[in-house]
Amino acid sequence: MFDSIAIVGATGAVGGIIRQLLEERNFPFRKITFLASARSAGSKLKFRGETHTVEELTPESFEGIDLAIGSTPDPIAKDFVPWAVERNCVVVDESGYWRMDPRVPLVIPEVNPEAAFTHTGIIASPNCSTTQMVQALSPLHKAAKVKRVVVSTYQATSGAGVAGQRDLEAGTRAFLDNQPFKYETFAHPIAFNLIPQIGSEKQDGYTSEEIKMVLETRKILGDESIQVCPTCVRVPVSNCHSESILVETERKITVAEARKLFAATPGLKVVDDLANKSYPMPKDCDGDDATYIGRIRDDISSPNGLAFWCVSDNLRKGAATNAVQIAELLVKSAAGVA
């Protein structure tokens, strides 16, 4: 058990889910501190029946803190994580800033839990779109070695934060009322629209979100030879990311074998009955920690190809739940539990 823990970004959307999960999962600690920006400092939060005052995030915030779970933008993580590590605090960080640092393990507990124990003070949690895809790829990779992945994502507005969800809701109302609306988060209207760009332009016409999926997949699975071709699209859905995935493996994986592999993998749930119109949809996965798989079928264009559909709550497994699960790995390790 950690004596003292902190939640950084405690007042944000993901921070709120982290607080909820720590309560629901009875995470063990003696003292908890909630940290946020100066703007949010002084606000009150309810946790385990008690009222806590949010404190401003400063270097001194981590004095006496054993574990911090951080959900902040990259520039804030760049600063606060070293402050914590310098004070012997282990950080589970959800930002993108530390993920590709070769000294920092990038962990999905159902996929590569052993990597968490190689940390030197920082453990990174992957990008939300990467997390659900790699969860699904992992059993296929172990069984038949993944060679190539073509993925198209259908990413909810919650991936752009609370402001993204506000843009969807208020923009939709304005559209229906034939009223003008100034979008706060998105460069184009999201109501009744799709935006085929998430993140900034990076290399060869790919965006930062797409490059994350390429690099993070290889790091988590420990295989630099895996080829990934992603297209990331923002869609007018409030929460839960969906992905259409085509994977090629060294040997053929049949649909029946894939279904068994998915069903036997912790954290995955198979919902796949096309005849009865049963498959994962965002509205059914909202608030769930599992990653759902459906529409499993042969790739009719490739002899060793498999196609499937994947949906996951990006605020939970794609962010908060994965971070809390990493923290739980550390607790079990400290207690000597395998």
Query: pLDDT by residue (tens digit) across 231-252?
Result: 999 999 999 999 999 999 999 9
Cα(57)–Cα(82) distance, integer angstroms = 13
Is 332 a residue whose pLDDT tops 90? no
Is 97 a residue whose pLDDT tops 90? yes
Confidence of residue 192 (pLDDT cuts 50, 70, 90): very high
Residue of 1 and 166 predicted with greater confidence: 166
Going by C-beta distance under 8 Å and a sequence separation of 6 or more, which residues neighbour residue 120? 103
DSSP state, 318?
I
Provide the residue type at 39 as one letter.
R
Cα(20)–Cα(91) distance, integer angstroms = 19
Q: What's this model's pTM, rounded to 2 decimal places?
A: 0.95
Residues 135, 69, 234, 179: is their CA dihedral positive or negative?
positive
Confidence of residue 95 (pLDDT cuts 50, 70, 90): very high
Cα(11)–Cα(112) distance, integer angstroms = 29
Say if domain 2-125+319-334 classifies as CATH 1.10.540.10.
Answer: no
> Is the CB of residue 31 less than 8 Å from the CB of residue 59?
no
Is 1 a residue whose pLDDT tops 90? no
DSSP strands (E only) in the chain: 2-8, 29-36, 44-47, 50-53, 55-56, 67-70, 90-93, 122-124, 146-155, 227-234, 241-249, 268-270, 291-298, 305-312
Is 336 a residue whose pLDDT tops 70? no
What is the average per-residue pLDDT within 251-278? Answer: 98
The segment(s) of the chain belonging to CATH 3.40.50.720 are 2-125+319-334
Q: Which residues are catalytic?
A: 128, 241
DSSP state, 69?
E
The pLDDT tens digits of the residues spanning 294-323 come to 999 999 999 999 999 999 999 999 999 999
CA distances (Å), 196 to each of 207, 212, 231, in order?
A: 10, 16, 8
What pLDDT sits at residue 171?
98
Query: Facing residues of 122 across strands?
Result: 91
What pLDDT sits at residue 333?
80
Confidence of residue 335 (pLDDT cuts 50, 70, 90): low
What is the average per-residue pLDDT within 202-209? Answer: 96
Provide the residue type at 250 as one letter.
E
Cα(226)–Cα(147) distance, integer angstroms = 5
Query: Facing residues of 311 across strands?
Result: 242, 292
Nearest CA among 131, 7, 123 for reference residue 70: 7
The pLDDT tens digits of the residues spanning 24-75 come to 999 999 999 999 999 999 999 999 999 999 999 999 999 999 999 999 999 9
Say if domain 129-314 classifies as CATH 3.30.830.10.
Answer: no
- Strands 2-8, 90-93: pairing is unpaired
Provide the residue type at 296 as one letter.
I
The segment(s) of the chain belonging to CATH 3.30.360.10 are 129-314
What pLDDT sits at residue 295?
98
